[in-house]
């Protein structure tokens, strides 16, 4: 893998008033576009239909083997990298949170969906084989998207997308995935992860997050242990390490600067933390992934 200068951050084209778009991406297109020729972090949710070609799609340091006729669901802000070694043909659906979330119920659906969240494994992407039902709903979305002046277009697109996501969730559960049971602990876990995403760079204290959620540290620990088998501290460390890996591989910032940006006042503390979590020093990790 060749190290890029910076993580490319893709921002949705706000000129598209709907907040949803379909993009045809094949091997040649991915190589020709600067924002796809390097690992990039997208500010929107992505659903990629790999129609032809068996590829390896990289999402947050996890290589995902994709067979033809598969949907890949990638959550917002994950770093992904299209395969440049194998030929493929795909269609990418991207949509913003603003487009999908009309109310708080929609927001919570995205935050807890098994398509964009695998709380136990910290997976940032989920693959599902294409079924006739999913393909039919996808066709309905693309057909409706073509009605650029229809006043019903936006609402219908949102409703079709909601139906598509619900159908995809059902397919994942049929494949043997064990979904977490909705309860107060799961709600607390989701809220904790939202707060963690906002504050992990400068807040490592579990008491801080417990206070934000108006619960005790003991209650928060009980919630994470019962739902995903991890303590809040383990989850905090994992989030910091993920960001450290992203910055080490996809930026030219020094280890000292990366550690400082992640809340480590002393460079030696960051090195010790990183090595304890990964078995490698930050410099060794960077060399491993830049060759």
In 3D, which of 12, 195, 167, 199 has the Cα closest to residue 97? 12
User: What is the spatial distance between Cα 106 and Cα 100, in angstroms, rounded to a whole number?
Assistant: 7
Lowest mean per-residue pLDDT among 40-44, 76-80, 112-116: 40-44
Angle between helices 282-290 and 232-250 (to 10 degrees): 50
User: What is the spatial distance between Cα 130 and Cα 121, in angstroms, rounded to a whole number?
Assistant: 23
What is residue 38's predicted lDDT score, i.e. its pLDDT? 54
Contact 35, 8 (CB under 8 A): yes
Domain boundaries, the chain: 8-174, 184-290
Lowest mean per-residue pLDDT among 4-8, 53-57, 97-101: 4-8
The mean pLDDT value of the chain amounts to 85
The length of the chain is: 291
Q: Does the predicted TM-score (pTM) go above 0.95?
A: no
Please check the confidence at residue 188 and state whether its pLDDT lies above 80. Answer: yes
Please give the CATH superfamily to which domain 8-174 belongs.
Regulatory protein AraC (2.60.120.280)
Which residues are CB-contacts of 243 (< 8 A; sequence separation ≥ 6)? 200, 201, 262
What's the pLDDT tens digit per position in 58-79?
Answer: 888 788 899 999 999 998 878 7
DSSP 137-155: HHHHHHHHHT-TT-TTHHH
User: What is the spatial distance between Cα 11 and Cα 278, in angstroms, rounded to a whole number?
Assistant: 31
Residue written as token pair 């830049």: 290
Please check the confidence at residue 268 and state whether its pLDDT lies above 50. Answer: yes
What is residue 190's predicted lDDT score, i.e. its pLDDT? 87
What is residue 218's predicted lDDT score, i.e. its pLDDT? 97
User: What is the spatial distance between Cα 10 and Cα 36, in angstroms, rounded to a whole number?
Assistant: 9
**What is the CATH T-level fold of the domain 184-290, as seen in this structure?**
Arc Repressor Mutant, subunit A (1.10.10)
Q: How many helices (H) and strands (E) in the chain? A: 12, 10
């Amino acid at each position: 893998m060749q190290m890029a200068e910076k993580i490319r951050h893709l921002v949705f084209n706000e000129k598209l008033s709907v907040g949803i778009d379909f993009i045809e991406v094949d091997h040649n297109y991915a190589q020709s576009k600067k924002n796809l020729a390097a690992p990039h972090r997208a500010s929107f949710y992505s659903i990629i239909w790999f129609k032809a070609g068996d590829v390896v799609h990289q999402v947050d340091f996890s290589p995902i083997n994709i067979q033809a006729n598969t949907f890949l669901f990638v959550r917002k802000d994950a770093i992904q990298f299209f395969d440049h070694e194998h030929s493929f043909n795909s269609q990418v659906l991207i949509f913003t949170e603003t487009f999908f979330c009309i109310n708080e119920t929609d927001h919570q659906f995205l935050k807890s969906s098994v398509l964009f969240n695998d709380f136990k494994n910290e997976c940032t992407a989920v693959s599902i084989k294409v079924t006739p039902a999913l393909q039919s709903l996808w066709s309905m979305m693309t057909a409706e998207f073509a009605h650029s002046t229809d006043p019903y277009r936006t609402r219908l697109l949102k409703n079709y997308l909601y139906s598509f996501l619900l159908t995809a969730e059902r397919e994942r559960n049929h494949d043997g995935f064990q979904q977490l049971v909705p309860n107060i602990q799961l709600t607390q876990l989701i809220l904790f992860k939202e707060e963690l995403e906002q504050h992990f760079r400068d807040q490592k204290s579990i008491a801080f997050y417990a206070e934000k959620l108006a619960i005790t540290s003991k209650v928060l620990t009980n919630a994470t242990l019962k739902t995903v088998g991890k303590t809040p501290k383990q989850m905090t460390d994992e989030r910091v390490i993920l960001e450290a890996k992203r910055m080490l591989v996809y930026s030219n910032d020094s280890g000292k600067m990366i550690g400082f940006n992640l809340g480590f006042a002393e460079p030696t503390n960051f090195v010790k933390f990183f090595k304890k979590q990964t078995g490698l020093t930050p410099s060794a990790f960077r060399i491993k992934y830049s060759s």
